[in-house]
A = this chain, B = another copy of it.
Amino acid sequence: MISVGVIGYGYWGPNLARCVAEGENCALGAVTDVSAASLAKAAKRHPAAKLYDRWRDCVSDPALDAVVIATPVGTHFEIALAALQMGKHVLIEKPITAKSAEATILIEEAAKRKLTLMVDHTFVYTPAVQKIRELMDDGKLGEVYYYDSTRINLGLFQRDVNVIWDLAVHDLAILDFIFDEKPVAISASSAGHIPGSPENMAHVSLFFTGGLVAHLNVNWLAPVKIRQTLIAGSRRMIVYDDLEPSEKVKVYDRGVNLSGSQEDVRKLRISYRVGDMWAPEWSVKEALLTVTEHFVSSILTGDKPITSGMNGLRVVEVLESAILSLKQRGAPIEINPMRKAS
């Protein structure tokens, strides 16, 4: 039985605490928040959990095996490092840290101490994204051409991070999971329309080693909510709409066929293939419960989690490059040329 402390009981923390409390092989040992009102809510829902108003008390609690960190991004590193140093396994809300250098330190610390370090890339654990990965593993899409995502709605504006750190991070986590290729360069543009607030709208183009490209359209200031991703390959194409109540993933047998001379590509003739559409079904399970259960199971087996510190690091590296590019109106930025070379 793994005893888990949740640090941060604001917007997302209560969901994590609930999943820890409901999950198998674990128990909610403590809840930590600086707000007395938040702690009071936690006490009502989880009368058996200890309450802390200082995270240092939580990471020092010898009765806890692990902590889940759901505080503002800027505080992730300090808390996580202290927790690892106290021998706790750590699950961190996305993005893992505010800087890639910080993520690297956490990864090293966890490795040294043989502790589980995991980042909560929730979408990776949804049945829809799992199904997409499965379709790709089966070669159903053929050669993959692109990933093009629109993730927009009205609000919630954040004080400390812009819309890329808030919303594009979901797509970057999905990209990191479903594709083996990794992005090598990025071009991003953005706009901030509300005085005193971070950028609320951004468009991000990602270039990969092969022919694959990706594009992310994220926006906090849109009249309607859209969560739609197109993933196209030479054999089939996917429309993934996260707002559809049932058929979230639709697979289209559509594309182009080429005929004619392979030697002279200019003579190739294009014909269009418009075939059946198919929407696979799956059992429903809350993704966040899968996240906390996977965290606990990784601790028990010692296996690396699907979204380990390294996955968190790669996402942060792309976020950093995106910020560099949008400050130059889309100038292309190489992503971590050092690590690529090694």
Residues of A within 8 A of B (CB): 47, 145-146, 148, 150, 152, 154-155, 157, 185, 187, 189, 191, 193-197, 201, 203, 205, 207, 211, 213, 215, 217, 219, 221-225, 230, 232, 234, 237-239, 243, 245-247, 250, 252-256, 258, 264-268, 270, 272, 274-281, 325, 328-332
The reply to whether B330 and A254 form a contact with Cβ atoms under 8 Å apart is no
Q: A222-B237, A224-B252 are in contact. Are A281 and B276 (CB under 8 A)?
A: yes
- In the complex, what residues of B have CB within 8 A of residue A203's CB? 203, 205, 215
- In the complex, what residues of B have CB within 8 A of residue A246's CB? 274, 277
The reply to whether A213 and B237 form a contact with Cβ atoms under 8 Å apart is no
- In the complex, what residues of B have CB within 8 A of residue A157's CB? 256, 270
CA distance A279 to B270 in the complex (A): 24
The reply to whether B281 and A275 form a contact with Cβ atoms under 8 Å apart is yes
The reply to whether A189 and B217 form a contact with Cβ atoms under 8 Å apart is no
CA distance A279 to B247 in the complex (A): 12
Question: In the complex, which of the residues B145, B187, B196, B270 contacts A187, with contact meaning CB atoms closer than 8 Å?
Answer: B187
- Cross-chain pairs A/B with CB under 8 angstroms, 26 sampled: A145-B221, A150-B150, A154-B255, A154-B256, A157-B256, A157-B270, A187-B329, A189-B330, A193-B211, A193-B232, A194-B256, A194-B268, A203-B215, A217-B217, A221-B232, A222-B230, A223-B232, A223-B252, A225-B245, A246-B274, A246-B277, A274-B281, A276-B280, A277-B279, A277-B281, A278-B279
The reply to whether A329 and B191 form a contact with Cβ atoms under 8 Å apart is no
The reply to whether A148 and B329 form a contact with Cβ atoms under 8 Å apart is no
Smallest beta-carbon distance A253→chain B, Å: 7
The reply to whether A232 and B222 form a contact with Cβ atoms under 8 Å apart is yes
- In the complex, what residues of B have CB within 8 A of residue A152's CB? 230
The reply to whether A266 and B221 form a contact with Cβ atoms under 8 Å apart is no
- In the complex, what residues of B have CB within 8 A of residue A264's CB? 196
Top 10 A-B residue pairs of the complex, sorted by shortest distance between their CB atoms: A187-B330, A196-B265, A223-B237, A329-B332, A223-B252, A189-B205, A277-B279, A330-B330, A195-B265, A191-B213
CA distance A222 to B147 in the complex (A): 11
Which B-chain residue is minimally distant from A252 (CB atoms)?
B223
Which B-chain residue is minimally distant from A251 (CB atoms)?
B223
- In the complex, what residues of B have CB within 8 A of residue A237's CB? 222-223
CA distance A22 to B275 in the complex (A): 28
The reply to whether A255 and B191 form a contact with Cβ atoms under 8 Å apart is no
CA distance A157 to B272 in the complex (A): 10
- In the complex, what residues of B have CB within 8 A of residue A234's CB? 193
Smallest beta-carbon distance A88→chain B, Å: 28
Which B-chain residue is minimally distant from A268 (CB atoms)?
B196
- In the complex, what residues of B have CB within 8 A of residue A148's CB? 201, 217, 219
CA distance A328 to B154 in the complex (A): 33
Q: A221-B145, A278-B278 are in contact. Are A185 and B254 (CB under 8 A)?
A: no
Which B-chain residue is minimally distant from A283 (CB atoms)?
B274
- In the complex, what residues of B have CB within 8 A of residue A278's CB? 276-279
